[in-house]
Structure 1
Amino acid sequence: MATTELQGGPEPDGIIARVSRAAGAMRGAWRRFWRLVSLYMPKRLYARSLIIIIAPMILLQSVIAFVFMERHWQTVTQRLSQAVTRDIAAVIDLVETYPNDADYAKIIRIAQDRMQLKVDLLPADPLPPPGPKPFFSILDQILSTEITRQINRPFWIDTVGNSNIVEVRIQLEDKVLRVFVRRNQAYASNTHIFLIWMVGTSLVLLTIAIPFLRNQIRPILALAAAAESFGKGRPMPPDFRPRGAEEVRRAGFAFIQMRERIERQIEQRTAMLTGVSHDLRTILTRFKLQLALTRSKADIEALGKDIDDMQSMLEGYLAFARGDAAEDAGHFDLEAYFQKLGEEAKLRKRKLTTSLSGNPDIQVRPNAFARLMANIVGNAFRYSQSIEIAAKHGHGSLTIVIDDDGPGIAVEKREEVFKPFVRLDEARNLDASGTGLGLPIARDIARSHGGDITLEESPLGGLRAIIKVPA
């Protein structure tokens, strides 16, 4: 008995694995395609909205135009060319049926009166050489095809140019038939009207849609400007109010409420800290009065120093918690401030070099920015002998680079020093009070302006502080 071995198909697990790999490859290709598209897409909302409106319109009109040109225009031209070719074939049949010269005049008259064809009989000379074919001429292609199919004789046609007449020559046995045909008899010449209507309608629709779209986007841009201004610590634009579509209005009202809550929270925190500071100052004042009654001079000096340290620390805590958020934006003269720093450098017997590029007048919160600079430059004065300050202001951005030749800060600790109450005993004390709040306050002020502070190694051998804020 013969046995048959059945060969099974591929394993189901192998098929699933291949399908999964194929699906993964398709997803990866799709993601790469959209990354490429997003790379070249405009970044602004207005430009993207215009593309959303214009791209489907262009695509739809392109499809309609293609269908019209492919179907209607070609079909009409083909039928007209067929009719003209039949008329020419009929004239040829008449010429061959009645070969007498006396009948030619009648044939020419009938062709002109009944068929709107201007017919001439020429001597049997060779046909002109074929002319250059036009790049795009549906008439030349279709008319040549119909003459070949219906007449099947040597022929020569001239459809090139803007003339309203098409010339056709057909080689007969002992003569040449020349026919002049109006172009609109063999060609659908009114298609430009369709294109004009289509383009004109699109322009009218775009003229209406673009201003409407701009009015819809303007409230979103105003909301973005108000949020950016709030992030930089500047007052809200005076003309800002929720407008536009319902969703945009809701977002505007939500932003106003959020801003009010944040400002109220800051005011409450500042008021609380101010009260705590007042109470602690009262206690410190009592300490001073008690010290005034103490007779030991050494105890008085020690306690007085402790009280001064406590008061200095208290002021530092209060300044850090307040963050100068209640101050309004105003003008700050960098050139005048650099002159003050030069005078301070002379008093401290330090070498200071400053340079300024661009407009010295910047738009910041003056007191807060002065405190920021004082904290950074104060550290440089305290722990180095030579300081260089370079400021560059332009295109709405301010960059200040401060270099010193001090001991510097280790790379792994350059972010840690921006945390409150962090002190580096080996490198430098971060502020005069020794509370470790100098750099945190400076970064907090910079970030409240929409900028930041970073630390790097200085070419002078010490520390480089880079301050970047919009101004």
Structure 2
Amino acid sequence: MAIIDTMRRDIGRLRPPGWATFGRWLKRHMPTGLFTRSVLIVIIPMLLLQTVVAAVFMERHWRLVTERLSQAVTRDIAAIIEIIRIYPPASGDYSEIIRIARDKLSLTLLVEPGGQLPPPRSKPFFSILDDFLADQINQQIRLPFWIDTVGDSRLVEIRIQLDDKVLRFFTVRNQTYASNTHIFLVWMFGTSLLLIGISILFLRGQIRPILALANAAENFGKGQRMQDPFVPRGADEIRRAGIAFIQMRERIERQMEQRTAMLTGISHDLRTILTRFKLQLALARDNPDLAGMSADVDDMQSMLEGYLAFARGEAEEDFGELRLSELLEKIEMDFALHGKTMTYSIDGEDLLSVRPNAFMRLVGNLAANSQRYASHLHVDARHSAKWLTLVFDDDGPGIPEQSREDVFKPFFRLDEARNLNASGTGLGLAIVRDIARGHGGNVTLSDSPRGGLRAVVRVPA
């Protein structure tokens, strides 16, 4: 192990100084979606390959072809100059030489007796044609010359100073310059775009089953039923993951059904016994020793109902629609009946897609806690496109910070805030968090600006 650690430290020291910074920058700016990353895996190597081909092969091919064409044109011009030198026309008529240059060599020749070369032009910033033509003229002709490769986009003009005259040669640019290289580039990039399009379609077909699996898992986690049943599709690995998810979902549903059936049986048996207790107490109402047992039986029944409701978790309820304003208005009226104040504000859509009974119980439990221990409650509801957030602020005694997670545990009760002899099971907040998580969200507690407790419920919209 010590040797491995030493090797890791040595490798770390060999990294460039900015490697860690570049890695963090790349991690922040890299896309997080699987589809986007897969597309980049296809596109980046293709772009790198095309860049290398264009920069190395095409550049060399371009220079080589241009050099050969410039060499051939310069050789033709040198041949015309040699003909004029060896066989100068006695009458000064160059028409026959001009004809030969035009018909046999595709060169246009103009002879200017007594002409002079114009002053040198500024060299183009990026033109290998000027370099190759100048080199070939210096090697083959060795006479003063002047070149114009930019004056006419279709022609190249070469002027040679020969004794007391200037020979002006015009040739088509394609004869001196590899101008059709772009055709190969167009085909290369066009084919690449076609291949990228095919790859994107293929990747989309592979990613779609993964997204369907993610949606099915998310809906199952929220307790929602999909309109279309999930069917495993795609590659073998994705199908195996989908089949494993379906089997897991079926096992969980069977366990929930078995637990619900067991709790239903327990509830029936215990209620039967409690009913017998009530009948016996009713018959023995005159016995002073049994006077307090009636209230204990009622408390036992209330606790039993709370336990069963918590164990069921409202899992059997389907999603439906609920108007938040109507729910909060009922709570406001209930507060007013008990001589306390409750206000609320709603920002966003009023209609919710939740389990109506479970969600009403969630809001009701939080409001009941505030009603019991505070005199004023304000509920701030914000319904955005993705999340529903409910903030409960009261002016009660609050909950100590070290106990804010413990209160969500079943049967946990605060000695400072509650009377152990009072009716209650210690399941109110546990049920609240269970319902919130059943909707795919959570509940957190913190200090309220009003001096009491703040409860924040956040569930997907």
- Asked if these proteins are the same fold (TM beyond 0.5), I'd say yes
For 1:367 and 1:433, the matched residues in 2 are separated by 23
Equivalent of 1:63 in 7, 32, 52: 52
In the alignment, is the contact (CA less than 8 A) between 1:375 and 1:439 conserved in 2? yes
Q: What amino acid maps onto 1:158 in structure 2? A: D
Equivalent of 1:377 in 367, 380, 395: 367
SS in 2 for 1:49: helix
Check if 1:265 corresponds to 2:269.
no
For 1:306 and 1:438, the matched residues in 2 are separated by 20
**Aligned-pair CA distance for 1:380:** 0.4
Q: Name the residue aligned to 1:194.
A: 184
**Aligned-pair CA distance for 1:134:** 3.6
Q: Name the residue aligned to 1:146.
A: 136
Equivalent of 2:30 in 33, 41, 45: 41
Task: Map residues 383-422 of structure 1 onto 2, 5 A cutoff.
Answer: 383-422=373-412
Equivalent of 1:462 in 447, 452, 456: 452
**Aligned-pair CA distance for 1:105:** 3.3
Check if 1:446 corresponds to 2:446.
no
For 2:196 and 2:152, the matched residues in 1 are separated by 33
**Aligned-pair CA distance for 1:297:** 5.3
Cα deviation 1:56-91 (Å, max 9, x = unaligned):
222222222223322222111111111111222222
Aligned residues: 458
Q: Name the residue aligned to 1:25.
A: 13
For 1:20 and 1:448, the matched residues in 2 are separated by 45
Task: Map residues 417-428 of structure 1 onto 2, 5 A cutoff.
Answer: 417-428=407-418
For 2:319 and 2:162, the matched residues in 1 are separated by 96
For 2:6 and 2:126, the matched residues in 1 are separated by 48
SS in 2 for 1:58: helix
Check if 1:87 corresponds to 2:76.
yes
In the alignment, is the contact (CA less than 8 A) between 1:430 and 1:439 conserved in 2? no
Task: Map residues 224-239 of structure 1 onto 2, 5 A cutoff.
Answer: 224-239=214-229
Cα deviation 1:337-382 (Å, max 9, x = unaligned):
0110111011111111110011110111111111111111110011
Check if 1:114 corresponds to 2:101.
no
For 1:20 and 1:52, the matched residues in 2 are separated by 28
Q: Name the residue aligned to 1:301.
A: 291
In the alignment, is the contact (CA less than 8 A) between 2:116 and 2:165 conserved in 1? no
SS in 2 for 1:70: helix
Cα deviation 1:198-231 (Å, max 9, x = unaligned):
1222233233332222222111111111111111
**Aligned-pair CA distance for 1:33:** 3.9
**Alpha-carbon distance change, 356 to 254 in structure 1, aligned in 2, over 3 angstroms:** same
For 1:39 and 1:119, the matched residues in 2 are separated by 65
Equivalent of 2:325 in 329, 335, 340: 335
For 2:188 and 2:421, the matched residues in 1 are separated by 73
In the alignment, is the contact (CA less than 8 A) between 1:379 and 1:430 conserved in 2? no
Check if 1:361 corresponds to 2:351.
yes
**Alpha-carbon distance change, 16 to 470 in structure 1, aligned in 2, over 3 angstroms:** closer
Q: What amino acid maps onto 1:75 in structure 2? A: L
Q: Name the residue aligned to 1:211.
A: 201
For 1:188 and 1:77, the matched residues in 2 are separated by 5
**Alpha-carbon distance change, 17 to 439 in structure 1, aligned in 2, over 3 angstroms:** closer
SS in 1 for 2:111: strand
Q: Which moved more, 1:428-437 or 1:49-58?
A: 428-437
Structure 2 segments unaligned to the other structure (5+ residues): none
Q: What TM-score comes out, normalization by structure 2 length?
A: 0.92
Q: What amino acid maps onto 2:183 in structure 1? A: I
Q: Name the residue aligned to 1:78.
A: 67
In the alignment, is the contact (CA less than 8 A) between 1:329 and 1:364 conserved in 2? yes
Q: What amino acid maps onto 1:47 in structure 2? A: T
SS in 1 for 2:252: helix
SS in 2 for 1:102: coil
Q: What amino acid maps onto 1:424 in structure 2? A: L
Structure 1 segments unaligned to the other structure (5+ residues): 1-12
Percentage of matched positions with identical amino acids: 61
For 1:175 and 1:381, the matched residues in 2 are separated by 112
Cα deviation 1:75-111 (Å, max 9, x = unaligned):
1111111111122222233333344553633333332
**Aligned-pair CA distance for 1:124:** 4.4
For 2:158 and 2:95, the matched residues in 1 are separated by 19
Q: What amino acid maps onto 2:400 in structure 1? A: A
SS in 1 for 2:333: helix
Q: Name the residue aligned to 1:9.
A: none
Q: Name the residue aligned to 1:174.
A: 164
Q: Name the residue aligned to 1:10.
A: none
**Aligned-pair CA distance for 1:27:** 6.1
Q: Name the residue aligned to 2:271.
A: 281
For 2:197 and 2:8, the matched residues in 1 are separated by 49
Q: What amino acid maps onto 2:39 in structure 1? A: L
For 1:161 and 1:225, the matched residues in 2 are separated by 65
In the alignment, is the contact (CA less than 8 A) between 1:431 and 1:438 conserved in 2? no
RMSD: 2.6
For 1:341 and 1:457, the matched residues in 2 are separated by 22
Q: What amino acid maps onto 1:139 in structure 2? A: L
SS in 1 for 2:220: helix
SS in 1 for 2:325: helix
In the alignment, is the contact (CA less than 8 A) between 1:431 and 1:437 conserved in 2? no
In the alignment, is the contact (CA less than 8 A) between 1:449 and 1:470 conserved in 2? yes
